[in-house]
Amino acid sequence: MAESAGTDDGHIKAALESVKQRVAAASAERGSAHATRLVAVSKTKPVSDLMAAYDAGQRIFGENYVQELIDKAPQMPEDVQWHFIGHLQSKKANGLVAKVPNLVAVETVDDDKIASKLNSACAAAGRASKLQVYLQVDTSGEETKSGVDPEGAPTLAKHVVEDCPNLELKGLMTIGAPDDFECFNRLAACRHEVAEALGVDAASLELSMGMSGDFEEAIARGSTSVRVGSTIFGARNYANK
């Protein structure tokens, strides 16, 4: 991951500020009382790039790969709030939770097994606070996409709420198919089903949806948390991984 440090700092600061303005404008247009959270997705990017965003005020970062996050976390200030947004294998849950104390959320819980594993990992690590989780929902119906089917989300949500005391069900997350904004509407509909099954207000559950190419459309359809990478940090070079 070695890369010349510092040269991109000005670009990253300017790009971050522009994304923040666009997020705020889209949220205002929706008439939302709450600010939409911006998760800066920094996978494959060197710590110097993350620090440029940090110095420009960003505190919430999203990473996709367990080992990369475990490597980066101790190199960043402790007040960073990490969101894990990649596919998580059960066998890596313990290491992730134990080695990243400031892991705030795992956005990719898509079955009972990984939820239970994260719950026991929190106990094993002696975490003081609950780990927030989002249920990843497959809203595109593509075989290759991970995520629970919308019909399965209420049952999974009940499992988290009833059987996983170290987890806090924060909301639902989806990636969706490119240019298919119906996926965002499907996630919002799924939230209603989940809220009904739990007997809570739909508004008490968040919607994590929207990436570089579509975050404004996602906000218009109810997103409360967007995950933006390349528009802030530039195109990714996976050879850096």
Ligand X SMILES: *Cc1c(COP(=O)(O)O)cnc(C)c1O
Task: List residues binding ligand X (CB under 6 A).
Answer: 41, 43, 64, 85, 175, 211-213, 227-231
Q: In angstroms, give the least distance from the CB of 36 to ligand X.
A: 14
Q: Which two tokens stand for residue 60?
A: 């919430």
Q: What do you get for the CA distance between the two ends of the chain, in Å?
A: 7
The owner of tokens 């739990």 is: 198
Q: How far apart are CA 147 and CA 105, in angstroms?
A: 16
What's at 109, amino acid-wise? V
In the complex with ligand X, the residue whose CB is nearer, 142 or 196, is 142
Nearer Cβ to ligand X, position 36 or 231? Answer: 231
Instruction: In angstroms, give the least distance from the CB of 42 to ligand X.
Output: 9
Provide CB contacts within 8 A for 147, sequence distance 6+: 110, 136, 137, 138, 139, 174, 175
Considering the complex, state which of residue 160 and residue 209 has its C-beta at the smaller distance from ligand X: 209
The H or E element containing residue 28 is helix 9-30
User: Residue 228 CB, nearest distance to ligand X (Å)?
Assistant: 5
Q: CA–CA separation, 173 vs 161, rounded Å?
A: 17
In whole angstroms, the minimum distance from the beta carbon of 192 to ligand X comes to 23
How many other CB atoms are found less than 10 A from the CB of residue 185? 14
- CB burial of residue 77 (10 Å; 0-12, 13-18, 19+): exposed
Nearer to ligand X, 85 or 106 (CB): 85
* Host H or E run for residue 40: strand 37-41
Distance separating alpha carbons of residues 170 and 150, to the nearest angstrom: 16
Q: Which residue has the closest beta carbon to ligand X?
A: 229
Taking the complex as a whole, the smallest distance from the CB of residue 227 to ligand X amounts, in Å, to 4
CB of 22 to ligand X, least distance (A): 13
- Min dist CB 162 to ligand X, Å, is 27
Beta carbon nearer to ligand X, 58 or 64: 64
Nearer to ligand X, 41 or 125 (CB): 41
Residues sharing a CB contact under 8 Å with residue 144, sequence separation 6 or more, in sequence order: none
Output 54 or 134, the one with its CB closest to ligand X.
134
